[in-house]
């Protein structure tokens, strides 16, 4: 089966099952191989492409107007795009935002990322939902020369994300301090100069805006690499420890992260807060297990129920693995679940200031329903200091 546009295609998306999508290429030329997922967010394509949690993946955007606000120098979540490529319905238009400093296509070219437009993304999304996240090869050739058989074979040879520790590929090379706060009109990004708490953040692939949220909540943040030991963490004498988002198979990253977290948890009055991969790392350290999802959760419109307040929050998500709630040990409370599929979205240790969530409460991009979690982390640190 192949969906072929009337004009000459300059890009091709080949699925491992032999399905071919033709379209118009933009951005860099060449071939890339990855897992394919879809994202339902209507805004934030620059943040999505630079989210380290997308390492090893190509993103299909279900919203058709991708590129219409261009890109700028402030919205990157890390230094360079991490997602391997992008698939869109319509070709990007000229940017129409006062914040734009470049066109999306030029930005992708300069960052060596391949994109394809003119694809029936609704059909592609339905296929992902029905069959699971496929392995794909994405090619862009301005002359339209494609070896289809070779592309399909490349997709079939892709090993997939299970068993891959990708956190080590996107983490920082050395420790650093972070004091930049959330963007606000009209000053933009300001600095935290009156921090109340010392926080060590473990970088499994941390988004910049998550670090900004910690700073805005009154934290003086020191970021350590994913491979940091418990001794290195505790040497900073932190008031709290943060476990960041990140890509790959949590069980693979857990081979070195879980022992560190378990030793940190021996400090009974030390608050710990985890997000996304950090949530999964905490669950593994407590004795639970993680599972690969059929097509994962990627978007900014995911309803999550907080079972302790009864509230439903609309959240931003990006994960292909989930904590198996059936394996949570005694003493660990399931606090949040997805209203899409009932999967686990949050846990806490009973009677201790240790908690985590699967979703991204910093809302970059997405709604801000869950920002209170950063304030809860700060409140836990206040309470422990008072005690």
Active site residues: 276, 360, 362
Distance from C-alpha of 150 to C-alpha of 157, rounded to nearest angstrom: 10
Let me know: does 97 contact 71? Beta carbons within 8 Å: no
- Residue 162 φ/ψ, nearest 5 degrees: -65, 130
- List strands edge to edge, sheet with 344-349: 176-178, 219-225, 197-203, 240-243, 272-275, 354-357, 344-349, 332-338, 290-306, 312-323
Distances (CA, A) of 158 to 4, 33, 161, 247, 251: 25, 7, 9, 17, 19
Tell me how far CA of residue 387 lies from CA of 60, 66, 380, 384, in angstroms.
49, 50, 11, 5
* Token pair listed for 289: 């297990």
β-partners of residue 199 are 221, 240
Beta carbons within 10 angstroms of residue 269's beta carbon = 11
């Amino acid at each position: 089966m192949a969906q072929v546009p009337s004009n000459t295609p300059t890009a091709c998306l080949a699925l491992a099952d032999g399905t071919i999508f033709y379209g118009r290429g933009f951005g860099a030329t060449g071939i890339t191989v990855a897992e394919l997922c879809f994202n339902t967010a209507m805004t934030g394509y620059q943040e999505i492409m630079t989210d380290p949690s997308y390492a090893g993946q190509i993103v299909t955007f279900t919203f058709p107007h991708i590129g219409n606000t261009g890109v700028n120098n402030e919205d990157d979540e890390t230094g360079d795009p991490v997602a391997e490529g992008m698939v869109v319905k319509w070709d990007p238009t000229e940017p129409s935002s006062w914040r734009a400093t470049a066109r999306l296509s030029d930005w992708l070219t300069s960052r060596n990322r391949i994109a394809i437009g003119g694809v029936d993304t609704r059909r592609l999304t339905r296929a992902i939902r029905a069959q699971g996240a496929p392995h794909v090869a994405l090619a862009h050739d301005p002359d339209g020369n494609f070896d289809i058989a070779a592309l399909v074979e490349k997709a079939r040879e892709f090993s997939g994300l299970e068993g891959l520790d990708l956190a080590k590929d996107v983490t920082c090379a050395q420790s650093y301090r972070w004091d930049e706060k959330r963007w606000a009109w009209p000053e933009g990004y300001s600095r935290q100069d009156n921090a109340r708490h010392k926080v060590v953040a473990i970088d499994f692939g941390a988004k910049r805006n998550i670090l900004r949220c910690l700073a805005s909540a009154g934290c003086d943040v020191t970021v350590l690499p994913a491979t940091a030991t418990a001794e290195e963490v505790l040497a900073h004498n932190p008031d709290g420890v943060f476990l960041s988002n990140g890509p790959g198979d949590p069980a693979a990253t857990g081979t070195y992260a879980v022992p560190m977290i378990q030793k940190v948890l021996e400090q009974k009055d030390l608050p710990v807060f985890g997000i996304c991969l950090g949530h999964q790392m905490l669950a593994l350290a407590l004795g639970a297990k993680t599972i690969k999802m059929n097509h994962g959760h990627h978007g900014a419109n995911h309803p999550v129920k907080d079972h302790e307040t009864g509230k439903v929050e609309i959240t931003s998500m990006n994960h292909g693995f989930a904590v198996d709630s059936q394996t949570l040990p005694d003493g660990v409370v399931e606090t949040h679940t997805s209203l899409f599929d009932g999967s686990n979205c949050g846990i806490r240790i009973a009677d201790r200031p240790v908690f985590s969530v699967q979703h991204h409460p910093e809302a970059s991009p997405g709604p801000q329903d869950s920002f209170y979690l950063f304030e809860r982390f700060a409140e836990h640190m206040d309470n422990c200091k008072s005690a």
